[in-house]
Chain A
Amino acid sequence: MSTVAETQIKLTPEHDARPGASVRSRLQDLLPKIVLAPSFAATIVFVYGFILWTIYLSFTNSKTFPSYDITGARAYQRLWRWTFESDPPSSWYTSITNMGIFGFLYILICLALGLFLAILLDQKIRGEGVLRPIYLYPMALSFIVTGVAWKWFLDPGLGLEQTLHQWGWTSFHFDWIKNKDFVIYTVVIAGVWQASGFIMAMFLAGLRGIDGEIMKAAQIDGASTFQLYRRIVIPLLRPVFLSAFIVLAHLAIKSYDLVVALTSGGPGGSAWLPSNFMYEFTFKRNEMAVGSASAVIMLMTLTAIIVPYLYSELREKPR
């Protein structure tokens, strides 16, 4: 804890010594809080207040316009019923199954690929300064932009399939983006492409932070490179794994433009994630209460991941 606040209290009498300065010095004391207040108030109202408002709406019968008569948990009951409506799949069933597939593969592949690339780059590579920005640039571009290229690339008539046909591999077939059972996997490919470079950078920073002495000692003890990484380096990277997981989990739950840009929702909404479900039901299908309920469920999922993490990060650490 800093001690400025205490120092300041000691200083107050000095200010008071000057005649007529007492109001000004009181103001000076309050100034920090006055400066912070608008931001904090905005957060309270526009984040927490609005969340409560959304929760409230989810218990009403709102359709096209918000209605403020509480009508019970009907929206949640419908979502719950849809959760098990797999044949034919309800939009909600599709969205949450997609979330499961996407979330699992996206996080897993990004972690694996990110770690793999970081380890490769950490082998005293010439040209690291060129390679790193190449791996990372997708994070700087909107997926609305790069989705244009991905869509083209994955399109069977124009992209990869067509190209390989021209090169003579005519039996090659790749139409996932048009196939309602596989379209979500194209979202995984594009998502991994976008985020894995950043995860690589996180792991690389972690690797660079490891004490070289430990590595040297292990090498002297005759550990092979593989053993070195498996037994020593990867366990030491645990905090990075945690941070990377949090980043990926929250990106996965928030993913929205990925699906819109790449698939426009996929055939019959088959590529929807809960974020797309929320948007469509709220703004296009005039089911505001259901949309709000799905937003609340998204929020609760994220809260369950983020709050323990923030708590452990912000707890007063012994210094």
Chain B
Amino acid sequence: MSAVTSPARPASSGLSARTINRIVIYGLLALFAVFYLMPLFVMLVTSFKTMDEIQNGNMLALPQSPTIEPWFKAWGETCVGLTCAGIKGYFWNSIKMVVPAVLISTLLGALNGYVLTKWRFRGHTLVFAMMLFACFIPFQSVLLPMATILGSLGRFGVTLQNATGFNFGLGNSTVNLVFVHVVYGLGFTTLFFRNYYEAFPTELVKAAQVDGASFFQIFRRIMLPNSMPIFVVTVIYQFTNIWNDFLFASAYAGTGDVMPMTVALNNVVNTSTGVVEYNVNMAAAMIAALPTLIVYIVAGRYFVRGLMAGAVKG
């Protein structure tokens, strides 16, 4: 009997077991999707609610009478510390910091990667290893000396200002943060380009050399046109990291008008004076999140690739 039924059984019960299996799998996946989306959802719906609705309604409920008011208030009126001019100024601070920092660190990373793969010299692995290790250090271990140096440069900037009428960017918080992010981002950008160029055919470089192309000509004419994917990955990675940075920002530009977005947002949210306007806080958080969120939605694939490249192997 068993010989007769056994071939048939897996087929019939297998089908229903399979269906149950699928339901369980999809159920679990959906459940986790809810878990991951929850904070973003709460932020989004709350930012469109009136304070009345927040106090009396349910956290997860959709806004009854959606209002865009909290967004305008967050952008132009909310108080950051003692100044109540919204977060717009800090948003621009972040932009002014992110754009040069990303461009400079990416370009330097590309050049470093090019040298470390196509113009190797004795000890190139050690040089790379030393730059790579810098990616992993806890930044607390360099925080204080950097603060001291930036402080002295700032004082020197004041002297220059008095003597020449121009401080050459010394003591400017944005310049300081650009510098810090370039220095501590170099390890990552070099890693990305080094790994990418490692797979780039060396023969092409050699052939160009034989034809008399110079170091920079090869870089500009041969490497760069073939580096688009890794440029996208690096720019996105650096953009996200620098935009989201909080430690350096709070240590070197932690007060006043010069704060980047993350520090300002933290101040908005932790301001304890008056009634806490949750809708405005959430709108401010959404505004702070938007640039990286948009980048993620538009080019998430490249973002993940960057994370992976940063995570695995050198």
The interface of chain A, by Cβ under 8 A from chain B, is 1-5, 7-8, 11, 28, 31-33, 35-36, 38-40, 42-44, 46-51, 53-54, 57, 66, 117, 120-121, 123, 125, 131, 133-146, 148-153, 158-160, 162-163, 166, 193, 197-198, 201-202, 205, 243-244, 246-247, 250, 253-254, 256-257, 260-261, 264, 275, 278-279, 282-283, 288, 291-292, 294-296, 298-299, 302, 306-307, 310, 313-314, 316
Contact = CB atoms under 8 A, between A and B. Distances in A.
A133 to B, nearest CB: 5
A5 B209 contact: no
A201 B42 contact: no
B79 interface: no
Given A47-B134, A294-B140, A306-B136, 6 more contacts: A39-B190, A120-B25, A136-B300, A148-B265, A149-B40, A202-B311
Interface string B191-203: 0000000000010
A46 B25 contact: no
- Dominant secondary structure of chain A at its interface with chain B: helix
Interface of B: 25-26, 28-29, 32-33, 35-40, 42-43, 46, 58-60, 108, 111-112, 115-121, 125, 127-134, 136-146, 148, 183-184, 186-187, 190, 202, 205-206, 209-210, 214-216, 240, 243-247, 251, 262, 265-266, 269-270, 278, 281-282, 285-286, 288-289, 292-293, 295-297, 300, 303-304, 307-308, 311-314
Contact of B209 (A4, A54, A135, A261): A4
Contact of A299 (B129, B137, B186, B187): B137
A46 B144 CA distance: 11
A106 B37 CA distance: 20
B140 A146 contact: no
A299 B293 contact: no
A55 to B, nearest CB: 9
A284 B186 CA distance: 30
A137 B36 contact: yes
A187 to B, nearest CB: 14
B206 A4 contact: yes
The 7 closest A-B pairs by CB, nearest first: A142-B244, A32-B119, A149-B39, A50-B142, A140-B296, A257-B246, A50-B145
Nearest to A46: B183
Contacts of A1: 120
B209 A11 contact: yes
Contacts of A279: 140, 143, 247, 251
Contacts of A205: 308
Contacts of A146: 39-40, 43, 285, 289
Contact of B60 (A54, A117, A163): A163
A4 B205 contact: yes
A163 B37 contact: no
A243 B312 contact: yes
Given A42-B183, A43-B130, A135-B36, A278 B140 contact: yes
Contact of A163 (B59, B125, B202): B59
A248 to B, nearest CB: 10
A36 B109 CA distance: 9
